[in-house]
Structure formats: structure tokens, C-alpha cells
Amino acid sequence: MLIIKKYAAIDIGSNAVRLLISTITEPEGKEPTFKKTSLVRVPVRLGKDVFVEGKISSYNMQRMRDTMQAFNLLMKSHQIERYKACATSAMRDASNGEELAELVKKESKIDIEIIDGEHEAAIIAATDLHALTQGDKTYLYVDVGGGSTEFTLYAEGKIISSKSFRLGTVRILNDIVEPKLWKEVEDWVKTVTKSYSKISLIGSGGNINNIFKSSGQKMGKPLSYFYLSSYYQLLNSLTYEDRISQLNLNTDRADVIIPATKIYLSAMKWSRSRKVYVPKIGLSDGIIKSLYKEEKNKEKL
């Protein structure tokens, strides 16, 4: 007997809002498979308002409300059984974040959960990350977002340490990240990795996914520090307009990709890593997996 389910995940980030529709297939006697049926990304840059003014502007409040109504209709069209909507750094820091969540719930019937950095890292860890971190190797997982970056150190398949920092691409673009925060992140990475050798990075986030895609590298193969450093130099040598026209970057990607690459390169330098794996996972994938695990746990009760 074949069981097919459809779940949805809404990731409300500082740079963009995403709706992931996933089809879960459960063949009898076999492991389930998760297939991305649809992914919709809307560049509502909430962080641009919040990290400078402390609240979401009325313009972006309306864009968010419109986007959530559209997502609600899409979920109905896809006949979604279960969904979860998570908001991260921007809505967490916004003085009117809770107000926006209440408006969305009233108008679109979508319940938004505003989560902290540690919770975000835990949800992402619910993905297939364990398949990559098995064995006796050591990995530093780095998830770069618009408002924050989550770091997790894995050794011998176990989480050794994890921490979230308010070091995000939109914050850097708005020049509100102080040097002392960079130093704090550097000290933390160096401290947790100092007793390990041959550390590899695992990178997640839209920017590193974009870089990996443009590299032409095969899935499962890592990018080298040299390649990422060379690409960073290329990005800095081009104007914003050139990055859009020559590198085919989206308008809301062409600026944040530079600070994102700087964070990945810095993490590699601090951890003495020479390569970064890009498994193309993120918060949306983690939400789907966590929903599935919750469902399975309920069935066991």
C-alpha cells in the first residue's frame, strides 16, 4: 500500500519569504521519500526596515499580508494536509512583529510562529544533515540568513556545540554589525574547533546554493576555499548592475551575496577548513521533516 501526503513549510526570513510544498511518499516496508513539489519565493525584505527602524514598515506589512493570502490559496490548491509557518530574525526583532502575525492569522488563517536562533538551528538539524555528518569526520555547519547566522559543530555524528549570532547579510548591508560582533563570532568558532583537525564546512542558505549552482560542481562534491575566495573577488570587482546582468543574479540576491560569501570564507578561515559542502537544505526542509516526525510520534502513542 502506498501512502502519499502533502505538507507545506513557510519560511519568513529577513531577506525573503518562501513557501515549500513537499510530497511525502510512504511505500510499504520502505523509508519515506520527500519530493519538493513547488517552491515560491517572494523577496519581501523585512530586515531592511527592522534592522534600521526597529519595526516593519506599513508598505512591507501590506506586502506580507498579501503574500500570506496568496500562500493560503496555494496551499488550498495543493490540498495540503499539514503546514507550519516560522518567522526568524526580522519578525523576532520587530516591535510590531506580533501585530503582523495577528493580522496574518485573522486574514489568512495562517498561524506564524516566531522562533529564536537556537530553535531555527534545531529545525534545520531535522533535515538529512545527519546523513552527511555520520562517521568520524568533523563538520562546522553554517547557515547564513539575512538577520542571523547559525553555527553548529558536528563530530562523530554528534552535535558538539551550537550558537546563533546576529550576523546577517541584511544587517551587514545596512552597516549595523559592529567589529566586536565579528570578533565574538571569530572567538567562538576558534574555541569550539581548536581541538579538532581536518574540519569541513557545511553551508546552507540561498547565497551558497546560488554559488554552488554557478560553479557547475556535481552534487555531493565540495567547493574549495580557493574557488569561494576567487568568486568573492569576482563579486567585488563587479557593480551591482553587472552582477545582475553578467552573473544572472536576482535583484534581491545581487547585493546580499557579497556579505554572505564573506561570512562563509571567514568561518572557513577561523575553523581552518579548506572545503565546503552544499547539501541544499534549509529551514523549509527542516520544517517539513519536523512536521513528519511529529505526525509519526503521534501515531505511536
Q: Which domains, from first to last, does the chain contain?
A: 2-118+284-300 (3.30.420.40), 128-281 (3.30.420.150)
- The single-letter DSSP state of residue 34 is E
pLDDT score recorded for residue 123 = 81
Q: pLDDT tens digits for 231-243?
A: 999 999 999 999 9
Q: Please state at what angle helix 257-271 crosses helix 179-193, rounded to 10 degrees.
A: 40
Residue 55 has pLDDT above 80, yes or no: yes
pLDDT of residue 128: 64
Residue 282 and residue 143 in contact, taking contact as beta carbons nearer than 8 Å: yes
pTM of the model: 0.88
Q: Using one digit for the tens of pLDDT, what is the confidence trace for 103-149?
A: 999 999 999 999 988 888 778 766 667 667 767 889 999 999 999 99
104 DSSP assignment? H
Instruction: Give the per-residue pLDDT at 202.
Output: 94
Q: What is the mean pLDDT of residues 198-212?
A: 94
Residue with cell 580557493: 226
Cell of 24: 511525502
Calculate the alpha carbon distances from 193 to 149, 232, 259, 265 in Å. Answer: 17, 24, 23, 15
**pLDDT value at residue 23:** 96
Task: Say how many C-beta atoms besides its own lie within 10 A of residue 142's C-beta.
Answer: 24
- Which 3 state secondary structure label does DSSP give 254? coil
Tell me the average pLDDT across 284-290. Answer: 91
38 pairs with which residues across the strands?
A: 21
Identify the DSSP state of 15: S
Task: Give CA 39 to chain center in angstroms.
Answer: 14
Q: What is the pLDDT of residue 281?
A: 80
Say if residue 22's pLDDT is above 90: yes
Average of per-residue pLDDT values in the chain: 93
**pLDDT cut 70: percent of the chain above it:** 97
pLDDT of res. 120:
83
What tens digit of pLDDT does each residue of 30-53 get?
A: 888 999 999 999 999 999 999 999
